[in-house]
Structure 1
Amino acid sequence: MAGEWLKFECSLPEKPETLAITASMGWDDPDLTVGKLMRLFRWFDQHTLNGNALGVTPALLDRIIGVTGFVAAVAATGWIVIGDTFVSLHNFDHHNGATAKSRAQTAKRVAKHKTNGGGNAEPNDIGNACSVSDALPREEKKREEVIPAPNGALSAEPPHGDQPNLNGVPEAPGSSPGRSGVPPCPYDLLLGLYHELCPTMPSVRADLFKDGKRADAMLARWKWVMTSKAVVGERAGQRMATTREEGLAWFRKFFVYASKSLFLRGDAAPREGARRFVADLGWLVKLENFEKVLEGKYHGDVQEVEHA
């Protein structure tokens, strides 16, 4: 369709990641890498809404791109996250604008809305302006969440009354999470990090996880990270994360830290008569367990996590 486009940075051919991919593939021309990256970005633009391709494997994408091992080389730079059941393009919005798939679905919703009487019998250029906002789907219902206490501690109390946003201004109950400055919880990317960095812990199914109470706990921990100030580490006194990328980086460190515990990863010898324990993602993000992990209660040297 005429007018479709992808974002292209002028510095892409010289970026360290591009050069690393070129070297990993055994090529001597970064322009070849750029061409393959554009095919990769285009595929995600055309066939996903948010950069998460569920059920797609690196081998399938390699076949589409025409080069074996290319997706793995890109993943090594952090531009792609490979999970057991998905492949996700990191910083999707950075590479892609409104996707063709999203544009097509929006157009379909608008047309259906007008057919059902939601629009007026006006000229097309006026009718679109009046009806598109009403035809778009309502934001996904907010999950019940755990609100961080003012001092940054975790609180299990349910929200009540007006809650302050990140600027200290009260917001009305039920307002959009985006308005508070907290990015939506990237469940699929967090699941991918867990599977990548905690390979000895039990894997979880994305569909079952996101539909249950474990997702509520994950959302609460995500919001805590995005709104609370670090006590130790290089960000001490500052918010631990302010963007989705910083939040993902925080959880990457958290999963690495958890995986170093013999007890949590299932390598500690159980007491006589007891079964060997191994933590899983649902256990890690449960409030009381999350707090103990951060405090170093499951590490032999009782060393607190260094980035919270």
Structure 2
Amino acid sequence: MAGDWLKMRHDLADDPAVIRLATLCHLEEDAVIGKLFRLWSWADRHSKDGQVEGVDLAWVDRLARCDGYGAALVRVGWLVETGEGLSFPRFDRHCSDTAKTRALGKNRVETHRNAGSVTRPDDPVTLDALPEKRREEKR
């Protein structure tokens, strides 16, 4: 259980796998993404490593309220049937605690960079140069 939020890409609706899921399930891409969110949220709450025992593709269909959704996820490579249950490939990249920490860090860095720096890199360090001093020779 890695927290109460889920990391999702901005371009998920354009992902070829989502388009393929929509075709296989006769759904619009937005509906596919909503069902993915429901499934991934469930997996985030009930798995630490992407492995879930005791569930099968029929259960995924019931959760998604769409016949064939689990099989379609297997076809696009986003779900794997194991002998004991299901496995979510690349789970650690998106749903683990470290993935969420990385995402938060990335957002923090982007926010800082977008805020702009106080000085521009080409601004001189000192505004007024010190007056030039001359040494006089001793005689």
Q: TM-score range by the shorter chain?
A: 0.5 to 0.7
**Offset of residue 64 of structure 1:** 1.7
CA separation in 1, counterparts of 2:64 and 2:97? 22
What is the alpha-carbon distance in structure 2 between the residues aligned to residue 97 and residue 53 of structure 1? 14
Asked if the contact 2:74/2:80 (under 8 Å) is kept, the reply is: yes
Counterpart position of 2:24 = 24
Q: CA RMSD in A?
A: 1.6
Query: Counterparts of 2:23 and 2:7 in 1: how far apart (Å)?
Result: 24
Name the amino acid aligned to 2:84. Answer: T
1:93 aligns to what?
Answer: 92
Cα shift at 1:84: 2.9
TM-fit CA distance, 1:79: 1.0
Measured against aligned partners, the alpha-carbon deviations of 1:168-191 in whole angstroms (never above 9, x if no partner) come to xxxxxxxxxxxxxxxxxxxxxxxx
Structure 1 residues 83 and 97, CA, compared in 2 at 3 Å: closer, same or farther?
A: closer
Ranges of 4+ aligned residues in structure 1 off by more than 6 Å = none
Alignment of structure 1 residues 1-308 onto 2, 5 Å: 4-27=4-27, 29-98=28-97
Give the TM-score normalised by structure 2.
0.64
Count of residues in correspondence between the two structures: 96
The alpha-carbon deviation at position 31 of structure 1 amounts to 0.5
CA–CA distance in structure 2, aligned partners of residues 16 and 36 of structure 1? 16
Q: Which amino acid aligns with 2:12?
A: L
Structure with larger Rg: 2
Structure 2 letter corresponding to 1:9? R
Q: Answer yes or no: is the 8 Å Cα contact 1:13–1:19 preserved in 2.
A: yes
Distance (Å, rounded) in 2 between the aligned partners of 1:97 and 1:76: 24
**Secondary structure, in 3 states, of the residue corresponding to 1:87?**
strand
Are the aligned partners of 1:41 and 1:95 in contact in 2 as well (CA < 8 Å)? Answer: no
Task: Report what 1:261 is aligned to.
Answer: none
Q: Which residue of 1 aligns with 2:101?
A: none
Deviation track 1:146-168 (CA, whole Å, cap 9, x = no partner) reads xxxxxxxxxxxxxxxxxxxxxxx
Structure 2 distance, partners of 1:20, 1:95, is 21
Q: CA deviation at 1:95?
A: 2.6
Contact 1:17 1:77 in 2 (8 A): yes
Preserved contact between residue 25 and residue 70 of structure 1 (Cα < 8 Å): yes
Equivalent-residue separation in structure 1 for 2:83 and 2:34 (angstroms): 27
Mark the runs of 5 or more structure 1 residues left unpaired by the alignment.
100-308
Deviation track 1:88-134 (CA, whole Å, cap 9, x = no partner) reads 001002231329xxxxxxxxxxxxxxxxxxxxxxxxxxxxxxxxxxx
Structure with greater contact order relative to length (CA < 8 Å, sep ≥ 6)? 2
The percentage of counterpart residues that share the same residue type is 33
In 2, the alpha carbon distance for the partners of 1:97 and 1:88 equals: 14
CA contact (8 A) 1:79 1:90 kept: yes
Q: Deviation of residue 37 (structure 1)?
A: 0.5
Q: Provide the C-alpha distance between the structure 1 equivalents of 2:33 and 2:4, rounded to a whole number of angstroms.
A: 19
Aligned-residue offset at 1:4? 1.7
Work out whether residues 35 and 64 of structure 2, in 8 Å CA contact, stay in contact via their aligned partners in 1.
Answer: yes
Letter in 1 for 2:29: P
Contact 1:7–1:94 at 8 Å: present in 2 too? no
2 CA distance for matches of 1:11 and 1:94? 16
Q: State the secondary structure of the residue aligned to 1:76.
A: helix
Read off the aligned partner of 1:45 and give its amino acid letter: D
Instruction: Give yes or no for contact 1:7–1:97 (8 Å, CA) kept in 2.
Output: no
